[in-house]
A and B are shown apart, each in its own frame.
Chain A
Amino acid sequence: MYQYDSYDQSMVDARVAEFRDQVQRRLAGEITEDQFKPLRLKNGLYLQLHAYMLRVAVPYGTLSSRQMRLLGDIADKYDRGYGHFTTRQNIQYNWIKLEDAPDILADLASVEMHAIQTSGNCIRNTTSDQFAGAAADELVDPRPYAELLRQWSTFHPEFDYLPRKFKIAMIGSETDRAAMKLHDIGIQLVKNDAGEIGCKFYVGGGMGRTPMIAPVIGDFVPPLQMISYLEACLRVYNRYGRRDNKYKARIKILVHEIGADEYRRQVEEEFAHILTLGLEPPAAELERIKGFFEQPGFDANASDDLDLSDPDFALWVDQNTHAHKQTGYTIVNISLKPTGGIPGDASADQIRLMADLALEYSFDELRVTHAQNIVLPHVKKSDLYTIWQKLDEAGLANANLDLISDIIACPGLDYCALANARSIPVAQKISERFADLGRQRELGELKLKISGCINACGHHHAGHIGILGVDRKGVENYQLSFGGSEGADTSLGTITGPGFNEDGVVDAVEKATDVYLAQRTEGERFLDTYRRIGMAPFKEAIYAKETANG
């Protein structure tokens, strides 16, 4: 993976020094909280309901074991012994003291990490495919391009005060595992008939209160013009994105209001001008970065044979591993969704264990997924049983990847200052209701996503089943939706009807799964059945019994 040179290191070191100075000015009362707020937000430090929350960037979701181990140590040293992996492939700590924040940033800088631009109205941490460089279906490894993008977006002087936050995702497979079309910009690396690589730009997607699927704006931008094209996309947005209403300030609203064609025209015009300025890093820089992402030293004789005589192990292998491009290797998904647990949480000990496993068995690499799980990208199949045993001992071997209990949930009203309702207890109750793994596997792939407010950090719009917590006259109320998806077949969910209380929504989810089981045809997932038969049968089941029960 990428390693800092002295330039990269001095940039994060400078940031630590700058933030230390800013915190000192705040603690000394030289600046007000109002003046401090935008400064701390540029360093990922939020003031939440009970404490400061620090969000640490994990560029394109990639970590070394040394970095992962430090994340565990930070959890012990500065938090309450755990961390929370997020839907943007980052990690958050929920119980941070302001005076500790500069020291945490200094610790992070010691392992080439930071919290730069993890909040604020700027270009956020770029996300990517968690199987990058490993998946059997990969066309182009997106990581070198994502690293180029990381450097370009870091402390970008023109785009630090955009109308609103800006999220970019980048993939290099036909299968979209990064919800790319639901980002401000999604870049898909593709190849043309001549075998040349190009960047397909999707611009103007997003979730939040007005979910939109991004249209294609640039069909095939040459990789050595990618930065210039990004400059053009961002400049048009910075100049013309709405600033009168923060709820209409994301780029999706601009693209929607002026239309994709007009937005594209403006971008092309700006792009033509920017190309004359020579802003693009040279091919040699991309090559330098690519050098860090060469294939690890796989054992060419590794075998695909696997002893599956232990039934629990066999279940886990079937559910939680993914095809690797190298014979004899596989991709391991570590579920951070134990029954009744908090989605995405891991203890300091669990984090360090995962770091150890990565060092010993996965060429020193881990990935964070947007579904709030962890990936060991390059595991030799002959090591799988040992890894599984160690994970199982640590409570990390739940074989529920992409099943109904593999829930995405935002922190909700338990932590977040923006939330209207709690997300975590709903996730816990659903996970407990469907605790039986046999039952979950019977239901098959079922992506359930929960947000505690309309900002949709829990991706509820993209859930096969989505749950949105709202505040209804001071009472938490949960709206249910079906039919969202985030992959190649991206779609937005449709609300079923009136909302439910906490237990009611769990019951409604269960009734919906009963409808699915009764109606499905061979090979259909919940999503497919819903798309085929529509909302009516689900609605009938969910609300009819509600009335009957009085």
Chain B
Amino acid sequence: MVEQTLRYRNDEPVNDPAVTVATFADQSNATAVRIEPGEDARALLPHLDRLALVEVNFPTYGDGRGYSAARILREHGYAGELRAVGDVLIDQLSHMRRCGFDSFAPEQPIAAEAAEKAFATWPDVYQKTVDGRPAIWAKRHPA
């Protein structure tokens, strides 16, 4: 069981256990799923409306597939909780947030104040992603 979850959402946490991607499609009452690095986030796209929690596992911090998985889900309109679990370290939090994660269950606990500091690392961003922050180019050329 995860010891700590840093959560940046206002709705009630989902307590359903996350099932695997392979079993999710067959369990019509499941609302939480867990994506492993080799699994295709697009397999979940037909079921986004019944999902309340997606966990994306990072077995090691260096395996960056979960960043793409998160962005793909958000780009297709997933609005539920998107939780990074596993080898989630302070120095990756900022990028994860930019890719759409809004909760974090790190193996090694991270202090909430340290996390806030990490999110504030960059005053601006060069890319438009899914976190709603305007890219620097957008600020340079306001519509």
A interface with B by C-beta (< 8 Å): 5, 7-8, 10-11, 14, 18, 22, 35, 38-39, 121, 151-152, 154-162, 235, 238-239, 243, 273, 277-279, 281-282, 284-285, 288
**In the bound complex, do residue A22 and residue B91 qualify as a contact, i.e. CB atoms below 8 Å apart?**
yes
The residues of B that contact A11 with a CB separation of less than 8 Å are 122-124, 126, 136
Q: Using a Cβ cutoff of 8 Å, how many contacts connect chains A and B?
A: 94
Known: A14-B122, A39-B91, A155-B122. A282 touches B137 (CB 8 A): yes
Which A-chain residue is minimally distant from B62 (CB atoms)?
A: A161
CB-CB < 8 A to B99: which residues of A? Answer: 157-158
Task: Give the complex CA separation of A524 and B109 in angstroms.
Answer: 67
A151 touches B65 (CB 8 A): no
Beta-carbon contact of B126 and A152 below 8 Å: yes
Cβ A7 vs Cβ B140 within 8 A: yes
**Further contacts, 8 of them, CB under 8 A, given A11-B123, A155-B125:** A5-B140, A151-B137, A157-B67, A157-B127, A160-B67, A235-B68, A279-B127, A281-B135
Which residues of B sit under 8 angstroms from A277, Cβ to Cβ? 75, 128
**B14 nearest CB across to chain A (Å):** 25
The answer on a CB contact under 8 Å between B68 and A158 is yes
Asked if B95 is at the interface (CB within 8 A of a chain A CB), the reply is yes
Contact A14 B123 (CB under 8 A): yes
Complex Cα gap A152–B67 (Å): 17
Shortest CB distance B119–A (Å): 12
A235 to B72, CA, bound (A): 10
Give bound CA distance, A239 to B68, whole Å.
7
Which residues of chain B are near A10, meaning CB under 8 Å? 123-124
B61 within 8 A of A: yes
Q: Which residues of B contact A282 (CB under 8 A)?
A: 137, 141
B126/A160 in contact, CB under 8 A: no
The size class of the interface chain B forms with chain A is 35 or more
Chain B, residues 91-131, CB within 8 Å of chain A (1/0): the string is: 11011101100000000000000000000011111111100
Instruction: Identify the B interface with A (CB < 8 A).
Output: 37, 40, 61-65, 67-69, 71, 75, 89, 91-92, 94-96, 98-99, 121-129, 135-137, 139-141
User: A281 vs B127: C-alpha distance in the bound complex, in angstroms?
Assistant: 9
Contact of B137 among A35, A121, A235, A281 (CB under 8 A): A281
A161 to B37, CA, bound (A): 12
B64 in contact with A162 (CB, 8 Å): yes
In the complex, the answer to whether B126 meets A158 with C-beta atoms within 8 Å is no
Nearest chain B CB to A289 CB, angstrom units: 10
How many whole Å from B114's CB to the nearest CB in chain A? 11
Inside 8 A of B62's CB, which chain A residues have their CB?
38, 121, 161
Minimum C-beta distance from B39 to chain A (A): 10
B141, A285: Cβ atoms closer than 8 Å: yes
CA distance A38 to B128 in the complex (A): 25
Most chain B CB inside 10 Å of its own CB: which residue of A121, A155, A239, A282: A239
Name the one of A7, A39, A158, A243 contacting B67, with C-beta atoms under 8 angstroms: A158
Quick one: closest B residue to A287, CB to CB?
Answer: B141
Please state if A151 and B123 are interface contacts (CB–CB under 8 Å).
no
User: Which residues on B sit within 8 Å (CB–CB) of A158?
Assistant: 64, 67-68, 71, 95, 99, 129
- Inter-chain contact A239/B65, CB cutoff 8 Å: yes
- A38 contacts which chain B residues (CB < 8 A)? 61-62, 91
CA distance A39 to B90 in the complex (A): 11
Residue of B nearest to A36 (CB): B91
Among B95, B136, B139, B141, contact of A157 (Cβ-Cβ < 8 Å): B95
Q: How far is the CA of A421 from the CA of B28 in the complex (A)?
A: 60
Asked if A161 meets B61 with Cβ closer than 8 Å, knowing A282-B141, A285-B141, the reply is yes
A285 close to B137 (CB less than 8 A): yes
How far, in whole Å, are A277 and B92 apart by their CA atoms in the complex? 24
5 pairs from A and B in contact (CB 8 Å cutoff): A158-B67, A158-B129, A161-B67, A277-B75, A285-B140
Q: How far is the CA of A2 from the CA of B38 in the complex (A)?
A: 41
For the complex, give the distance between the alpha carbons of A279 and B64 in Å: 21
Q: Is the CB of A288 within 8 A of B140?
A: yes
A160-B64 contact given A14-B121, A39-B91, A282-B141, CB 8 Å threshold:
yes
CB neighbours of A235 from chain B (8 A): 68
Minimum CB distance partner of B136 in chain A: A7
Report chain B residues within 8 Å CB of A156. Answer: 126-127
Residues in A with CB closer than 8 Å to B68 are 158, 235, 238-239
CB neighbours of B135 from chain A (8 A): 281
Q: Which residue of B lies closest to A153 (CB)?
A: B126
Q: Which 10 A/B pairs are nearest by Cβ-Cβ distance? A: A161-B64, A157-B98, A157-B95, A281-B137, A285-B137, A7-B136, A158-B67, A284-B141, A151-B126, A10-B123
Q: Which residue of A lies closest to B135 (CB)?
A: A281
Q: Which residues of A contact B98 (CB under 8 A)?
A: 157
Given the contacts A5-B140, A10-B123, A162-B64, A157 and B129 also touching, CB distance less than 8 Å: yes
Docked complex Cα distance between A279 and B67 (Å): 17
Tell me the bound Cα distance from A10 to B120 in angstroms: 13
Alpha-carbon gap, A273 to B68, bound state (A): 14
- Chain B residues within an 8 Å CB radius of A121: 62, 64
Residues of chain A within 8 A of B127, CB atoms compared:
152, 156-157, 279
A514 CA to B52 CA, complexed, in Å: 74
Do the beta carbons of A243 and B139 come within 8 Å of each other?
A: no
Contact for A154 among B65, B126, B141, CB less than 8 A: B126
Which of A7, A238, A243 contacts B124 (CB under 8 A)? A7
Minimum CB distance partner of B97 in chain A: A157
Question: What residues on B are CB-neighbors of A152 within 8 Å?
Answer: 126-127
